Amino acid sequence: MIGRTMKNPVSVLITGASGGIGAALAKAYARPGVALALTGRNDERLGATAAAASAAGATVMQRAFDIRDRAALAAWIAEVEAAHPLDLVIANAGITGGHHDRAEESIDEVRRLIETNFLGACYTVDAIVPAMRRRRRGQIALVSSLAGVRGLSHMPGYSASKAALIAYAEAIRGWLRDDGIEVAIVLPGNVDTPMLARESGPKPMTLSADRTAAIIRRGLARGRPRIAFPSPLYWLLRASTLLPATPVDKVLNRFRVTVTAYD
């Protein structure tokens, strides 16, 4: 069971906090008495998130770097831990990708997706687990995607990176349970963020970033191991994995999108 501290964490770290879901989560958790540690790649946008959280009464530590920089991430988490031992860590940093406006997805783009979406989360977990194990308490949330439930033909690398994160979260959840550490996997559908704006095509059941953050916060407070939404889309994708692949492929191909290429 998650104790009172986890229901109302007073020290929270969020990666990918310079915009989208991460910035909305910072806003959701910001209040007097809460210490927020925020990181993201864009220093200017991260500063805006930090300023809003500070205005809401939170104590804020911020640092801009690429989540793929394992050494910088580990050093920063150690610094945060020394100042505010962490109750909750949300590994949210991620990028989108897929067949795009210039060409098909390249292997270099697949590598970038895996390094950012999957390995970045693994680096985050690796850096915080020893301290949480010593305290025998803590909560870790890994933000994946519904695209990880059933691979999408227009986003192969992205789907793979998010599917890997689901398997990783499920594995470490069992591993860390006896140490008093709760692990949750978060599976959002379409969220109205700058990342989604890179995609052109059907975007069913899109939610706002603020609504998404509220759902995630509520699910974490309740200790849910899997937070997947919107429910109709999640269960449709889950069901699709039990059906013959060929007809499912044909249906999903009707919802193909094009992703704007990264520079």
State pLDDT tens for residues 194-204.
877 777 777 78
What pLDDT score does 155 carry?
Answer: 87
pLDDT in tens, 91-126: 999 998 877 665 688 999 999 999 999 999 999 999
Find where tokens 């310079």 sit.
18
Tens of pLDDT, residues 47-86: 999 999 999 999 999 999 999 999 999 999 999 999 999 9
Check 29, 158, 168, 234 and give the catalytic one: 158
Overall pTM surpassing 0.85 (yes/no)? yes
- Look at residues 161, 40, 148, 190 and name the one whose alpha carbon lies nearest to residue 60: 40
End-to-end, the C-alpha distance of the chain in Å comes to 45
- Structural domains present in the chain: 4-259 (3.40.50.720)
Task: Give dist(CA 103, CA 70) in Å, integer.
Answer: 30
Rounded percentage of the chain residues whose pLDDT exceeds 90: 76
Our answer to whether residue 123 is catalytic in this structure is: no
